[in-house]
Every structure is written in structure tokens, then in C-alpha cells.
């Protein structure tokens, strides 16, 4: 698992891949009312029974939390939580380097 931590908020909260992954697992578990340990980050999103409204709410919350753009197409290209997390980490790093340059 990727261990690079990135500071994304004023609160100096450390956000790494593990944190995002468990956020996604818990989000889906809570929304669908199933135990988190039944959610395998390597399973494809559609197997959990997510619909477009829940998937939208999840990426909107990810955007608010991580302060990055998460276009809907991402979850059709990165179809598992694990793959999504890799993509989000890349987006975070790009934004972070942009902020440093700025």
C-alpha cells in the first residue's frame, strides 16, 4: 500500500491511500447498510449494488473532503475502490504540486 502522506487541509490532516480506502469502504457500507468487512476493495463497484445517486453522492463527498475534481468517468475507468484510490492519490499529488508552485 502506498504510504506517501499528503497534507490536504488546513487542519494538517494526513490523507494517505489507506485512509481514503477505508473512507470509501465505510461510506459504501454505511450507505447500503452492510458490514464494512463484507466490502472487498478489489470488487467492482456495481457488485455492491450502488446506484447513480449514491455513486454521485460519494464522489461529491470525496471532492469536498479532498478538495480535488472527481469526474464521474473516473469510477467507470477505475472500477474498484483500490483502483479509485490510486487515481485519487495521483490527483491529490498533482493538485498538491500545483499548490506548491502557486
**Which among 99, 42, 94, 100 has a CA at the least distance from the CA of 69?**
94
71 binds other proteins (CB under 8 A): yes
DSSP, res 80:
B
Residue in 53, 98, 101, 102 binding other proteins, rule: CB under 8 A: 53
4, 15 Cβ separation under 8 angstroms: no
| 88 CB-contact burial (10 Å; exposed 0-12 / middle 13-18 / buried 19+) | buried
Residue in 5, 26, 49, 76 binding other proteins, rule: CB under 8 A: 76
Question: Which CB atom, from 37 or from 51, has the smaller least distance to other proteins?
Answer: 51
44 binds other proteins (CB under 8 A): no
95 binds other proteins (CB under 8 A): no
21, 81 Cβ separation under 8 angstroms: yes
55 binds other proteins (CB under 8 A): yes
Q: Which residues lie near other proteins (CB under 8 A)?
A: 52-53, 55-57, 59-60, 63, 69, 71-73, 76
Amino acid at each position: 500500500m502506498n504510504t506517501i502522506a499528503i497534507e490536504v487541509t488546513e487542519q494538517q490532516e494526513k490523507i494517505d491511500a489507506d485512509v481514503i480506502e477505508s473512507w470509501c469502504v465505510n461510506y459504501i457500507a454505511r450507505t447500503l447498510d452492510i458490514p464494512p468487512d463484507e466490502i472487498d476493495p478489489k470488487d467492482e463497484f456495481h457488485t455492491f449494488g450502488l446506484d447513480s445517486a449514491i455513486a454521485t453522492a460519494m464522489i461529491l463527498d470525496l471532492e469536498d473532503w479532498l478538495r480535488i475534481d472527481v469526474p464521474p468517468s473516473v469510477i467507470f475507468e477505475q472500477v474498484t475502490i483500490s483502483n479509485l484510490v490510486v487515481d485519487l492519490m495521483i490527483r491529490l499529488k498533482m493538485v498538491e504540486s500545483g499548490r506548491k508552485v502557486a
